[in-house]
Chain A
């Protein structure tokens, strides 16, 4: 079957209506059992999906994010990076196909944002197309986190994906960072952390942040993208002692 998304005019109308909602209206709209669209608001795309999307609803805290991400990625295995920047796709999935999941995983009535409106805008819409927003949206983050870490060179193509879901720092500092866009860079770091489990057993957040800081410093005078994954791994091996010295 072909995936449906909001038409341009319907998408623009949804955005316009959302902008005009007050805080209490946002809460009312985004705690409904289902989100309704007008007839003919959706249009079929060229994107073929074998089966309808099915995301696990059992856990609100995100423990199932990793499995849901794989499920979504495999459903949309034909999506290209350019297509995956389309806010209409992710907005449609959040409001229509995956509304039940969104209600459970990113409920409007339980959040730590400055306002409900801001929270919904971050999780249900893509306000502007950039790495931070794509990694923040409730559905697009699942696809992009797999796409950026999928490694068909190993026995388990999702090994790096599982690591990236284990710690929030990876999305906020690695994948959305300037150097993190380079696959050799992000792969080298993730593989290094996985291979050196004992080194990162304690103080993992601080030690990963230290590694990123050191590499970003080097990126000031090197074209990091010109280095191979192996080059970066060798450097990481050289600073192992320095990493060990980090204790929060």
Chain B
């Protein structure tokens, strides 16, 4: 639940300056074929809320939300450092984790310590599951094996078009960014792709322009692509490579370079290597 822009009917620690103090959560995600492990460290600095937790009147929880597998559940945390193990088979693609402290029962006259002066002398009636503190949100990407086949981490695929000689096309209205090659080009691609020295050149000449196009479309209308695996994988890369500050249409060429690991430089390196080999063979 995105609550940053909501005006809630009672003060919440972690939202604007409603309440003094901090609720800080760190979460590390580890996954293998069977399980996904969330290693969570949470800390609160607000006497009143800490006291409510100690008495069992409030509790830490993490809401786990995977839209694509219809999964939405809350796990309650009892300790400052805790691991939660989840079956990997319940998840596919984006899994959103939201951290809260919620009320465990009805609280009459709730008035947290460090309440913003704007609230005056007001106190609040709190019901079970009302949010008392918000520790932020993060997400990870859950991969899965394709029903007995190997999972692929690629967000792009090259396919043969039905035309003989038409120019290359890029399609982004699908789970992967699709590069459609004419029959003639696709045959050449298939024949050459397995040559190791050509791989960086393919990245520079084929994958890089495809990603430029996909990023352009993404920034124009990101809502349209929110469910597609390629868009979610790019957002995960954004967070992993810490590209948030430059995540906009002005920096598309730079973003594409960073996401693909400098394809132009590697492509030029590939050509250099081919040149060296040719020189050696001629001499």
Contact = CB atoms under 8 A, between A and B. Distances in A.
Interface string A126-147: 0111110010000000001001
A240 to B, nearest CB: 18
B68 A130 contact: yes
A181 B90 CA distance: 12
Contacts of A5: 147
B65 A181 contact: yes
B130 A221 contact: yes
A223 B92 contact: no
Contact of B159 (A13, A47, A128): A13
Contact of B128 (A8, A181, A231): A231
A5 B146 CA distance: 10
A43 B149 contact: yes
B228 A221 contact: no
Nearest to A221: B8
Interface residues of A, number: 49
A163 B88 CA distance: 30
A86 B127 contact: no
B1 A227 contact: no
A137 B281 CA distance: 58
B161 A223 contact: no
User: Is chain B's binding surface mostly helix, strand, loop or mixed?
Assistant: mixed
B67 A131 contact: yes
Given A80-B90, A88-B147, A181-B72, A222 B131 contact: yes
Contacts of A148: 70
B70 A46 contact: no
B74 A225 contact: yes
A225 B73 CA distance: 6
Interface stretch (B49-57, B111-119, B173-181, B196-204): B173-181
Contacts of A46: 147-148
Interface in A59-103: 80-89
A222 to B, nearest CB: 4
A81 B157 CA distance: 25
A12 B159 contact: yes
B129 A85 contact: no
Contacts of B160: 13, 16
A80 B89 contact: yes
A220 B90 contact: no
B169 to A, nearest CB: 10
Contacts of B61: 223, 226
B67 A226 contact: no
Contact of A222 (B68, B73, B129, B229): B129
Contact of B100 (A12, A80, A223): A223
Interface in A140-169: 144, 147-148
B131 A221 contact: yes
Interface in B46-98: 61, 63, 65, 67-74, 76, 88-93
A206 interface: no
A181 B236 CA distance: 23
A175 interface: yes
Interface in B127-178: 127-131, 142, 144, 146-149, 157, 159-162, 173-175, 178
B2 to A, nearest CB: 11
B180 A82 contact: no
A221 B6 contact: yes
A45 B149 CA distance: 7
Given A80-B90, A81-B92, A226-B76, 14 more contacts: A12-B157, A12-B159, A46-B148, A81-B89, A82-B142, A85-B69, A86-B147, A129-B68, A147-B70, A178-B72, A179-B72, A219-B1, A221-B6, A221-B10
Interface of B: 1, 6, 8-10, 61, 63, 65, 67-74, 76, 88-93, 100, 102, 127-131, 142, 144, 146-149, 157, 159-162, 173-175, 178, 180, 227-229
Q: 9 shortest A-B CB distances, which residue pairs?
A: A80-B89, A181-B72, A46-B148, A45-B148, A81-B69, A225-B74, A45-B147, A82-B144, A128-B227
